[in-house]
Amino acid sequence: MRIRRVLATFVATVSIIALSACGANGGQGEGQTDTKADKGLKTLGVNVKYDPNHLVNKGKPIQLEYWSWVDKEQDPISAMTRDYQKIHPNVTFKIVNVAWADYWTKVPLALKGKNGPALFAVHNSQDALLKPYMAPIDIPADQLKADYTGVPAHLENGKAYYIDTVINTGNIYYNKKLWKEANLTDSDIPKTWDQLVTVAQKLTKWDGSKMVQSGFNLNGDEASAGYPGLWQGLNYQKGELMFDSSGTKPNYKNETTKENMQFIKDLYDKYKVASTAFGVDMGQSFGNGQTAMVYQWGGFAGTLKLKYPDIDYGVFATPTFSEQTPFAYDRYNGESTPGVNKNQSKDQQEAAQDFLKYILANDKFIKDDAKAFNSFPAKKSLQNDPEILSMPIMAAIKPRIDRLIWPGPTPSTMESSAKKSFQDVFQNHKSIDSALDSTQALMEKDIKGTGFKSLEPAYAFYKEARR
Amino acid sequence: MKAVTKTGHTGSKTIQTGKGLGRVFTMRNVSLAALVIYFSVFMIYPIFKAFAGSMHDWNPLIGTYKWVGFDNFRLVLSDGLFWKSIGNTAVFCLVSVVFRIVLGLGLALLLSSKLVKAKDTLRGLFYMPTITPMVAVAFVWVWMFDPQFGMIDRVLGLDINWLKDPNWALPAVIIMTIWKDFGYAVVLYLGALMSLPRSVYEAAAIDGANAWQTFWKITLPLLKPMTLFIVITSLISYLQAYVQIMIMTGGGPGTQTYTISYLIFDEAFQKYKFGTASAMSVLLFLMTGILTILMFKASGDMNMEES
């Protein structure tokens, strides 16, 4: 009888503790009390400035939680938290890694309450989910505009909630070993799609009727790689906008998309540089040394570093249909600054804003971010930096930077539905017309009610677009 | 305790209160309360919330909750993908359940016969996939189905891009599901077979029934309650299956392997349209209910006919 009561009490206590733990708020952390405001350090930054010689949270210990989907070792923000702690030893960080697939449900739900993370990684495709919980960056817009490109597109009532740190876009990654084996040199780097086809044919190998090496592979389901990312760039190169004149209706079903889908189909059926039977994931195939060239965005550099560190690869700019300057070379998308949780306590928000100011004023962060994402710095002072320009990818992007277009924080259907379109044509053997029809309908259905409006009209060369 | 009650009015009162609390905080009451709380929070509340949500334009992630009446149902019922998913779900359920039953019963009969040795080891082996997490199993099968280095094509000498071929993607997911789940039916049938009365078999043997007749006329009818149980639990489980779809095909190629539960997942957690996802869930709930009632009714009618 006594044992049962003890057990009952134990169960009840554990339940109460478990329930109360759900609402627990740490926040104090294990940092040391900081009493030294004057750190003897220089002020960072040109327009956005950060003077480290002050106390954060009046020197009292405070812990900031930072949520991200990026691996801790790969995330430049994680490195910056360590540097920041050296300056402000009373501030500690708890870094929580959440898988990308769960991130977009877990984070908004956590931000709804009072105990959500003070800082969290932002991807602008999920702007509508995160913006309601974000505090504006506590830096005057003029200072941000003076230091960073692309700020005006992020302003709402004169305030920015996040801005771009680097400009990410698609490029062609090539395997240097396979390139050499095919007797190709740097002078063979293609500038036009026709040239790429010629090079890809030299890089493709067959064993009878079975492909053993793909010259240019587009197989896969990744959002920004292969067709889902490439269709936008190909259309922009021909001056075709992604949205109609209202800015709210997707413009997928049109002659340009059809023409470009046929071009990609020709890569598989006519030029035979790719095959739907040749693996299911071009990134993996490239990493395994079976594919010579792939179209990928900047994040692919991180994947290669993490999963295939031995692969010797180079990067060159995505070809165009002719050597003339196109309407736009490709779409770009910025990697965003972390968001600050407006539902957190005043102390937490102040400390988070201080950290944000530190990273935005700090060139090291932007350089690390540029390297981590193979992307061009949005910080103007670094756009001519010799160290940055010594990277081949940066040298490839720089001359094109003005001709990269940002359509705004486009809903993910613009990529996920395009993926279905590709599968319908290449795997389900549907006609291009039929695939374009169903994808247009799907995009329209998904985008309805999201409140999205394209920022294409803000592009400097918008008037050159096809009508 | 008794000694304390005699110490005075105040002390007596304290002990009585303690006794009252003791009566409330019994193991039974605490366990029961924990179960009620668990089911209320994680089962009953979400079901009611889904019913209410199906009538709203709902996105809990940003707090949208607007009354739209039956609009979500109209939208869902006029969506071609919904009906395609229903069709895929029907095929998925039917084939998986039939194979689960046939394989489960066949292997259980084999294990209960004198033909097989090392029964415990085999039983454990057959049951192992059932207790392995679906996510892990699905990933392993993705590799096995890979057209470049996958074991299946190599061993069978085939050249099929299983998960990217519109004709093979759904069968591939079904094959994996059957492999993972047949052990459940084996163990249940084995238990049922062991509990069948010996006297009936002895009577059949005296009457001269051969093995085939004994199986059809005695074993199978006596196993009917267990078969019904397996069919209903399998149907409920397969109507809700989406993890293997999410990992192995992502609904593709195109929308070839969308099942109703995957569509609900996609609608709610990829597109954040919880209102239409809830409407689909309500329809799935109704379908499951109707199917279960029909199964019970069919089984009852069969019992009546037999008696």
For A27-166+335-388, which CATH class?
A: alpha beta
**Out of B34, B252, B272, closest to residue A423 by CB:** B252
Digit-coded pLDDT (tens) for A323-341: 999 999 999 999 999 999 9
Helical (H) or strand (E) element with A316: strand A313-317
Judged by CB atoms closer than 8 Å, whether chains meet at B63 and A112 is answered as yes
Cβ–Cβ < 8 Å for B185, B103: yes
Q: Is the peptide bond before B253 cis (omega within 30 degrees of 0)?
A: yes
Which chain A positions have a beta carbon within 8 Å of B254's beta carbon? 420, 423-424, 427-428, 430
Q: How far is B231 from chain A (nearest CA, A)?
A: 33
Q: Best interface-test mutation with B: which of A427, A437, A452 has the largest number of B CBs within 10 A? A: A427
Digit-coded pLDDT (tens) for A215-227: 999 998 777 778 8
Best CA proximity match to A57, nearest among A343, A344, A349, A337: A349
Question: Where do the structural domains in chain B lie, given as residue ranges?
Answer: 2-53, 78-306
Cβ–Cβ < 8 Å for B138, B213: no
Instruction: Tell whether ipTM is more than 0.90.
Output: no
Q: Please report the residues numbered 138 through 177 in chain B whose beta carbons come closer than 8 angstroms to any beta carbon of chain A.
A: 146-148, 159, 161, 163-166
Q: Flag whether residue A427 sits within 8 Å of chain B, measured between CB atoms.
A: yes
Q: Flag whether residue B286 sits within 8 Å of chain A, measured between CB atoms.
A: no
pLDDT bracket for residue A7 (50, 70, 90) = low
Given a cut of 60, is residue A235 above it in pLDDT?
Answer: yes
- Interface A-B, measured as beta-carbon pairs within 8 A, has a size of 83
DSSP-based three-state secondary structure for A210: strand
Q: Best interface-test mutation with B: which of A420, A432, A439 has the largest number of B CBs within 10 A? A: A420
Work out the average pLDDT over A222-237: 88
How crowded is residue B70: how many other Cβ atoms within 10 Å of its Cβ?
11
Distance CA B296, CA B303 (A): 10
Q: Flag whether residue B25 sits within 8 Å of chain A, measured between CB atoms.
A: yes
Distance CA A169, CA A317 (A): 10
Judged by CB atoms closer than 8 Å, whether chains meet at B29 and A8 is answered as yes
Q: Which amino acid is at B26?
A: T
Specify whether the backbone of B208 is left (phi greater than 0), alpha (psi in -120 to 50) or beta: left
Cβ–Cβ < 8 Å for B54, B282: yes
Judged by CB atoms closer than 8 Å, whether chains meet at B62 and A129 is answered as yes
Distance CA A273, CA A199 (A): 10
Cβ–Cβ < 8 Å for A250, A440: yes
Position B6 scores a pLDDT of: 41
Q: To the nearest whole number, what is the mean pLDDT of chain A?
A: 91
For B78-306, which CATH class?
A: mainly alpha
Angle of helix B80-112 relative to helix B169-194, nearest 10 degrees, comes to: 40
How crowded is residue A72: how many other Cβ atoms within 10 Å of its Cβ?
14
Cβ–Cβ < 8 Å for A241, A250: no
Tokens of A3: 């044992």
Judged by CB atoms closer than 8 Å, whether chains meet at B166 and A428 is answered as yes
Distance CA A464, CA A239 (A): 7
Nearest chain B Cα to A435, which residue? B254
Judged by average pLDDT, the poorest of A86-90, A312-316, B110-114 is B110-114
Cβ–Cβ < 8 Å for B189, B108: yes
Q: How far is A40 from chain B (nearest CA, A)?
A: 44
pLDDT bracket for residue A17 (50, 70, 90) = low
Digit-coded pLDDT (tens) for A256-279: 999 999 999 999 999 999 999 888
Is there a shared CATH topology between the A27-166+335-388 domain and the A169-333+391-464 domain? Answer: yes
What is the distance between the terminal CA atoms of chain A, rounded to a whole angstrom? 84
Judged by CB atoms closer than 8 Å, whether chains meet at A416 and B270 is answered as yes
Which chain A positions have a beta carbon within 8 Å of B22's beta carbon? 5
Digit-coded pLDDT (tens) for A370-416: 988 889 999 999 999 999 998 878 888 889 999 999 999 998 899 99
Q: How far is A409 from chain B (nearest CA, A)?
A: 15
Digit-coded pLDDT (tens) for A332-367: 999 999 999 999 999 999 999 999 999 999 999 999
| Residue B267 DSSP code | I
Judged by CB atoms closer than 8 Å, whether chains meet at B30 and A279 is answered as no
Which chain B positions have a beta carbon within 8 Å of A214's beta carbon? none
| Residue A423 DSSP code | H
Q: Which amino acid is at B230?
A: I
Q: Which residues contact A312 (CB under 8 A, 6 or more apart)?
A: A175, A176, A177
pLDDT along chain B (307 residues), means of 10: 42 51 82 94 93 95 93 95 96 97 95 85 91 95 91 92 94 97 95 93 92 93 93 92 95 95 94 95 92 82 61
Distance CA A56, CA A86 (A): 13
Given a cut of 70, is residue A199 above it in pLDDT?
Answer: yes
Nearest chain A Cα to B167, which residue? A428
**Out of A5, A109, A427, closest to residue B61 by CB:** A109
Q: Flag whether residue B252 sits within 8 Å of chain A, measured between CB atoms.
A: yes
Best CA proximity match to A410, nearest among A453, A377, A380, A442: A453
**Out of A7, A15, A108, closest to residue B27 by CB:** A7
Judged by CB atoms closer than 8 Å, whether chains meet at A129 and B61 is answered as yes
Q: Best interface-test mutation with A: which of B142, B164, B242 has the largest number of A CBs within 10 A? A: B164
Which chain B positions have a beta carbon within 8 Å of A108's beta carbon? 61-62
Cβ–Cβ < 8 Å for A254, A232: no
Q: Pick A169-333+391-464's CATH classification: 3.40.190.10, 3.30.1240.10, 3.40.640.10, 3.20.20.70.
A: 3.40.190.10
Work out the average pLDDT over A119-131: 93
Q: Flag whether residue B248 sits within 8 Å of chain A, measured between CB atoms.
A: no
Beta-strand (E) ranges in A13-170? Answer: 62-68, 91-97, 119-120, 134-135, 155-156, 159-160, 164-169
Question: Where do the structural domains in chain A lie, given as residue ranges?
Answer: 27-166+335-388, 169-333+391-464
Nearest chain B Cα to A422, which residue? B254
Read off φ and ψ for residue A343, nearest 5 degrees: -90, 0
Digit-coded pLDDT (tens) for A19-67: 444 444 456 667 789 999 999 999 999 999 999 999 999 999 999 999 9
Digit-coded pLDDT (tens) for A279-308: 888 999 999 999 999 999 988 888 898 899
Q: Please report the residues numbered 51 through 90 in chain B whose beta carbons come closer than 8 angstroms to any beta carbon of chain A.
A: 57, 60-63
Q: How far is A364 from chain B (nearest CA, A)?
A: 35
Nearest chain B Cα to A275, which residue? B161
Q: How far is A359 from chain B (nearest CA, A)?
A: 28
Alpha helices in A88-222 (DSSP H): 100-112, 127-130, 141-147, 176-181, 193-203
Judged by CB atoms closer than 8 Å, whether chains meet at A109 and B60 is answered as yes
Q: Which residues contact A179 (CB under 8 A, 6 or more apart)?
A: A188, A203, A292, A314
Cβ–Cβ < 8 Å for A161, A136: yes
DSSP-based three-state secondary structure for B292: helix
Q: Say how far residue A16 (Cα) sits from the centre of its chain.
A: 42
**Out of A104, A419, A427, closest to residue B164 by CB:** A427
Q: How far is B236 from chain A (nearest CA, A)?
A: 25
Read off φ and ψ for residue A465, nearest 5 degrees: -65, 155
The string over A398-417, giving b where at least 16 C-beta atoms fall within 10 Å of a residue's C-beta and e elsewhere, is eebbebbbbbbbbbbbbbbb
Nearest chain A Cα to B254, which residue? A420
Nearest chain B Cα to A9, which residue? B25
Position A12 scores a pLDDT of: 57
Judged by CB atoms closer than 8 Å, whether chains meet at A8 and B27 is answered as yes
DSSP-based three-state secondary structure for A250: strand
Burial class of A2 by CB neighbour count within 10 A (0 to 12, 13 to 18, 19+):
exposed
Q: Please report the residues numbered 276 through 305 in chain A whose beta carbons come closer than 8 angstroms to any beta carbon of chain B.
A: 276-280, 285, 290
Judged by CB atoms closer than 8 Å, whether chains meet at B62 and A15 is answered as no
Angle of helix A413-426 relative to helix A432-447, nearest 10 degrees, comes to: 160
